Amino acid sequence: FPDFPWEIDRKLDYITFYLGVPAFAMFIYSLYPQEMSKNILRTTQVFGGIFGLIVIVTPQRIFSHTLFTYHLITLCACVYIIYVLILATIRKSGGAGFAIGGFFVLFLTGNSSQEANRQR
């Protein structure tokens, strides 16, 4: 789409990242509800919603300043998800070993794709 508005493209890019973290946390919670805190799940949902709303209602020159903060939130969520997956593995919850392996692949490829985007 050569004439697609740049501002909308940026908004879609940020929103998918900001809402993807709570969506992934909800997926992990659906697999391992005994190992994951519902309060932490709600916290990721609230942060994702707030940051997503900022993207919707502000122009790019404003919402682009939220990225670093949300990266820190994402890092905290990832560390907690690793904890949940390790706990699920220790408790021998179904498929937790595969889930932790898949999460590490996702985490590594996600970081490399973000690095590639920064270099553009």
In tens, the pLDDT along 23-79 reads: 999 999 999 999 999 999 999 999 999 999 999 999 999 999 999 999 999 999 999
Buried b / exposed e across 48-63, counting CB within 10 Å, b at 16+?
beebbebbeeeebeeb
> In percent, how much of the chain has pLDDT > 70?
91
Instruction: Report whether pLDDT(93) > 70.
Output: yes
Take residue 49 and report the two structure tokens written for it: 């919603």
